[in-house]
């Protein structure tokens, strides 16, 4: 592993990276007639933000260089794969903005061809059936410093191997009875070349092939050969497959792939996977979080899955922009989660309409405003985009303001409400706090204020200033809402570094606020549509919403720690 480094968002601009350079050269030197890539997920979970990097790279270069990208399910392990995952993966790739056209493929489509190729290896003496018990087989593989031992089955004649392999396929042998191995080199420095397993027996129903097969190819045997069948030119994968590349090459060398009539044979290139602070991108762990109820589902907004991010309100465009900024390199690194939030904020700041919502309401009564009367003010939908227009909002005697915008005994620099203090209400009037009413326990339950009718529109004719502008909603038409605030799912930047990733779960990752009050325009907002709650953050409507009680997810707060870090540099 290479040393970790922090990526600087400002140094990565669009366009160039070593993969794109390779492709450019291959095209200009006519090594390939055109480029074909693939995104090859195993349908054993939902896609996460790390997959987004691979998707943006594979589909991105195909688009940029006039080629095509396939979506190929690597569905070779039926015990872990499900139709739900196949469906969710297609939905998520589309949502991210990419399309495979007619090139939706499955490794299972090639099972017959792969099987024929396995027989080809056997006949040529390049593969053998090994019935050594698995623990002994493991022990005989050797270590990084010691060569492995040849299996006694290594010299079994080809016709015997063929008969045994056919018995495996015919279902005559139980799980684990034997495997098919490539005959390469038990002393190879690269462990992947020590007679790797190509097929194993697995009596399990497959989501697509049902019970047609009881032997399944391993990743190494299925992957490169699927690439060849589909005419993939650049097989882009993450660095952990670097040590598999010699095997990828060996298999292509020993199989009759020229019969496919390919203009060129596939080549594998590796890039660094995406890692993000405070975030787990292991499908195994994400599966545990869902299965054991640490989150509500794969699309829980705290999850780093594409479905979770979408539900949280992260726009696909922001995700693509983030991936572009991270760039493609060969050095492993950990991206600061603040940079991700910064990218989301930048996008939403441009696109999200402004609304007012009070998260923790405190009633404010304007004593000199006539009872039973209301009036309509005009609120701006987007400060930087006049075309977004305005909307009417109701103002009246009783309002809700944010509890934290009042302090009875404020410190020096607290400019918001306190007894005697005048502030501006957004889009409305100046109000002065006269008194705080408390309940029996001493908690402030209501503010009594007066307003200055001459300040309609937000300015005083005499030119006097106030130091704070507060958001509010009118009790007359506010809609009660639930608002869900999300914090990091893990408490440390490197979850699991001490061994137990579950011990690093943040017990405060979800805070549910009930009894919030939002302006009526929000009650009918379409599910998932982003809005900015003025002074609070970016939110979107959750699918749990009803017209009577909308539910909002906080996508990201307003405070930008990343911008501060960058400014300090």
Q: What is the binding site for ligand ATP (CB under 6 A)?
A: 40-42, 44, 50-51, 53-54, 237-238, 273-274, 281, 283
Check if the beta carbon of residue 368 is closer than 8 Å to that of residue 59.
no
Closer CB to ligand ATP, 51 or 354, in the complex: 51
Check if the beta carbon of residue 73 is closer than 8 Å to that of residue 107.
yes
Quickly count helices (H) and strands (E) in the chain.
Answer: 13, 25
Smallest separation, CB 55 to ligand ATP (Å): 8
Closer CB to ligand ATP, 200 or 283, in the complex: 283
In 403-500, DSSP assigns E strands to 422-425, 430-438, 444-452, 469-470, 472-474, 479-486
Closer CB to ligand ATP, 41 or 301, in the complex: 41
CA nearest to 431, candidates 393, 397, 478: 397
Closer CB to ligand ATP, 68 or 283, in the complex: 283
The whole-angstrom separation of Cα 424 and Cα 60 is 49
Active site residue ranges: 42, 273, 283
Smallest separation, CB 351 to ligand ATP (Å): 27
Closer CB to ligand ATP, 280 or 417, in the complex: 280
The whole-angstrom separation of Cα 70 and Cα 57 is 12
Closer CB to ligand ATP, 275 or 432, in the complex: 275
Smallest separation, CB 53 to ligand ATP (Å): 4
Closer CB to ligand ATP, 164 or 319, in the complex: 319
Check if the beta carbon of residue 269 is closer than 8 Å to that of residue 238.
no
Smallest separation, CB 433 to ligand ATP (Å): 52
Q: What angle do CA 41, 45, 49 make, to 5 degrees?
A: 70
In 43-172, DSSP assigns E strands to 68-73, 104-106, 127-130
Smallest separation, CB 239 to ligand ATP (Å): 9
The whole-angstrom separation of Cα 467 and Cα 71 is 56
CA nearest to 552, candidates 479, 463, 474, 453: 479
Closer CB to ligand ATP, 128 or 490, in the complex: 490
Closer CB to ligand ATP, 24 or 42, in the complex: 42
Residue indicated by tokens 């502008």: 469
Closer CB to ligand ATP, 5 or 367, in the complex: 5
The CA-atom distances, in angstroms, between 112 and each of 178, 212, 215, 216, 226 are 20, 10, 11, 11, 12
Smallest separation, CB 331 to ligand ATP (Å): 13
The whole-angstrom separation of Cα 431 and Cα 364 is 10
- State the distance between the two ends of the chain, measured CA to CA, in whole angstroms: 28
Closer CB to ligand ATP, 60 or 353, in the complex: 60
The whole-angstrom separation of Cα 359 and Cα 403 is 8
Smallest separation, CB 270 to ligand ATP (Å): 9
The CA-atom distances, in angstroms, between 160 and each of 127, 191, 202 are 12, 27, 21
Check if the beta carbon of residue 161 is closer than 8 Å to that of residue 178.
no
* 244: Cβ contacts below 8 Å, ≥ 6 apart: 192, 220, 268
CA nearest to 374, candidates 391, 392, 400, 395: 395
CA 82 vs. chain centroid, Å, equals 20
The whole-angstrom separation of Cα 201 and Cα 131 is 11
Write out the two tokens for 475.
């009790």
The whole-angstrom separation of Cα 53 and Cα 51 is 5
H/E stretch holding 219 reads helix 219-230
Helix 83-96 × helix 49-64 angle, to 10°:
60
Smallest separation, CB 268 to ligand ATP (Å): 10
Question: By beta-carbon distance, which residue lies closest to ligand ATP?
Answer: 50
* 11: Cβ contacts below 8 Å, ≥ 6 apart: none
Smallest separation, CB 306 to ligand ATP (Å): 12
């Amino acid at each position: 592993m290479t040393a970790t480094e922090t990526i600087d968002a400002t140094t990565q601009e669009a366009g160039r990276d070593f993969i794109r350079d390779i492709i450019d050269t291959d095209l200009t030197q006519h090594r390939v007639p055109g480029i074909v890539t693939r995104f090859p997920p195993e349908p054993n979970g939902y896609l996460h933000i790390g997959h987004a990097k691979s998707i943006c790279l594979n589909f991105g270069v195909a688009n940029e260089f006039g080629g095509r990208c396939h979506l190929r399910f690597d569905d070779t392990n039926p015990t872990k794969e499900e139709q739900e995952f196949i469906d969710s993966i297609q939905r998520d790739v589309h949502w991210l903005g990419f399309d495979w056209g007619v090139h939706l493929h499955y490794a299972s489509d090639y099972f017959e061809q792969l099987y024929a190729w396995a027989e080809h290896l056997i006949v040529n003496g390049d593969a053998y059936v090994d019935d050594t018990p698995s623990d002994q087989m493991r022990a005989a593989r050797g270590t990084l410093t010691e060569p492995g031992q040849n299996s006694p089955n290594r010299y079994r004649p080809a016709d015997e191997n063929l008969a045994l392999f056919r018995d495996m396929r015919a279902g005559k042998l139980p799980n684990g009875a034997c495997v098919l191995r490539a005959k390469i080199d038990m002393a190879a420095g690269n462990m992947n070349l020590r007679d790797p397993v190509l097929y194993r027996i697995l009596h399990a129903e497959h989501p697509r092939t049902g019970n047609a097969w009881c032997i399944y190819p391993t990743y190494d045997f299925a992957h490169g050969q699927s690439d060849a069948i589909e005419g993939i030119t650049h097989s882009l994968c993450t660095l952990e497959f670097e040590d598999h590349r010699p095997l990828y090459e060996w298999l292509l060398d020993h199989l009759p792939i020229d019969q496919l009539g390919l203009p060129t044979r596939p080549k594998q290139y590796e890039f660094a996977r995406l890692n993000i602070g405070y975030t787990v991108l292991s499908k195994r762990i994400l599966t545990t979080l869902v299965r054991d109820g640490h989150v509500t589902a794969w699309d829980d907004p705290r999850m780093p899955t594409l479905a979770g991010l979408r539900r949280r309100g992260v726009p696909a465009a922001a995700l693509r922009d983030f991936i572009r900024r991270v760039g493609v390199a060969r050095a492993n690194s950990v991206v600061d989660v603040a940079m991700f939030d910064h990218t989301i904020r930048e996008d939403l700041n441009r696109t999200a309409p402004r609304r007012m919502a009070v998260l923790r309401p405190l009633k404010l009564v304007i004593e000199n405003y006539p009872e039973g009367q209301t009036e309509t003010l005009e609120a701006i939908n987007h400060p930087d985009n006049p075309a977004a227009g305005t909307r009417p909002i109701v103002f009246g005697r009783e309002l809700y303001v944010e509890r934290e915008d009042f302090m009875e005994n404020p410190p020096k620099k607290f400019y918001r409400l306190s007894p005697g203090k005048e502030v501006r209400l957004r889009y409305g009037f100046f109000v002065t706090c006269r008194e705080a009413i408390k309940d029996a326990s001493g908690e402030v339950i209501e503010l009594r204020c007066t307003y200055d009718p001459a300040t309609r529109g937000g300015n005083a004719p005499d030119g006097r200033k106030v130091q704070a502008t507060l958001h509010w909603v009118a009790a007359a038409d506010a809609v009660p809402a639930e608002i869900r605030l999300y914090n990091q799912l893990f408490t440390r930047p490197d979850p699991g570094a001490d061994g137990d990733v579950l011990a690093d779960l943040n017990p405060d990752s979800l805070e549910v606020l009930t009894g919030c009050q939002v302006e009526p325009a929000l009650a009918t907002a379409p599910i998932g549509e982003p809005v900015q709650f003025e002074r609070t953050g970016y939110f979107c409507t959750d699918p749990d919403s009803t017209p009577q009680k909308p539910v909002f997810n906080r996508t990201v707060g307003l405070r930008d720690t990343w911008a501060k870090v960058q400014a300090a540099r």
